Structure 1
């Protein structure tokens, strides 16, 4: 007897929907159907995402502005160089750098065994990385991994030393 491919799922919104799960392996269908049952149906999910998008966008814009201001203040305080890259990536890169450096300081100095001399050495390595995209690419990593990531950075991630370029 073959494992069924169509599952009737009662979603948390109360709607009952038949889902074709034939594109999933047979041993994954029941679990996925159970997972679907813990969510709104597609129509309700889409409706809730579209509802009140203006306030969500406003909240996100406010949050990003606050993060950007904190990142700019931090960069100025700790003499971090201006990042390079496409205009649309610069602010995101600055926020990513600030968040990763803050997480690294917490993990290595505050909660770890590093002293300020160790941290100053890491800061110098971080100042060399000026490509915004590099910081964006590292945004989901653990702060404790930052030293290894900085050591692995390539020449294309590092800025030019020519101030007259």
Structure 2
């Protein structure tokens, strides 16, 4: 007698389904059928996933709002100037600036050999960068590179003197 290929499954959600397990090796069908019985049916699984996506989107929106509020409070506390750019870029830039500078402070001052006085110079250079896009572009930069990145950016903003005039 051949091992059956059609199995009656009662899923954990209570729904019943008939499953063709002929694509599985005969000696693995019973174990797979048992595993299926511990899962929700396809319809319930999809419904739960749709709810998950909405829940995930709401969670992400709440997290972004919290990060935004923390970043704006931090910007005021450390007298960071407002950023320039589109509304969306400014909001993102404020978060990126906060994250970049906080990570750099931790790495350079708290864990590294940078003094508070040296950090104040870095912080002052950071205040000179008011373009949101610049901070967004630096969001993945290494904390050790921040001083050089700020120096390059502030030098690019300075008018150059032409010795020929």
Alignment TM-score, normalising by the size of structure 1: 0.63
Deviation for aligned residue 1:87: 1.3
Determine the C-alpha separation between the residues in 2 that align with 1:111 and 1:133.
28
Greater Rg over alpha carbons, structure: 2
Cα distance in 2 for partners of 1:120, 1:54 equals 43
Q: How many residues align?
A: 112
The answer to whether structure 1 residue 89 and structure 2 residue 115 are counterparts is no
Q: How do 1:100-111 residues align onto structure 2 when only pairs under 5 Å count? A: 100-111=100-111
- Cα distance in 2 for partners of 1:113, 1:148 equals 16
Matches within 5 A, 1:47-62: 51=50, 52-62=52-62
Structure 1 residues without counterparts, runs of 5 or longer: 1-15, 17-46, 159-165
1:106-125 correspondence to structure 2 within 5 Å: 106-125=106-125
CA contact (8 A) 2:122 2:147 kept: yes
Whether the 8 Å contact between 1:131 and 1:157 is mirrored in structure 2 is: no
Q: 2:137 — aligned with what? A: 137
The CA RMSD measured in Å over matched residues stands at 2.2
Measured in 1, the distance between the counterparts of 2:157 and 2:129 equals 6
Question: Within 2, Cα distance between the matches of 1:156 and 1:141?
Answer: 18
| 1:89 CA drift (Å) | 0.5
Q: State the distance in 2 between where 1:125 and 1:90 align.
A: 19
Corresponding residue of 2:78: 78
Q: Is the 8 A contact 1:134 1:157 kept in 2?
A: no
Unmatched 5+ stretches in structure 2: 1-22, 24-45, 159-165
Give 1:156 deviation, angstroms.
7.1
Is the alpha carbon distance of 1:138 and 1:82 closer, same or farther for their aligned partners in structure 2, counting shifts above 3 Å? same
Q: Normalised by the size of structure 2, how large is the TM-score?
A: 0.63
- Note closer, same or farther for the CA distance 1:148–1:156 as it changes in structure 2 (3 Å cut): closer
- Cα displacement (A) at 1:93: 0.2
Moved over 3 A (4+): 154-158
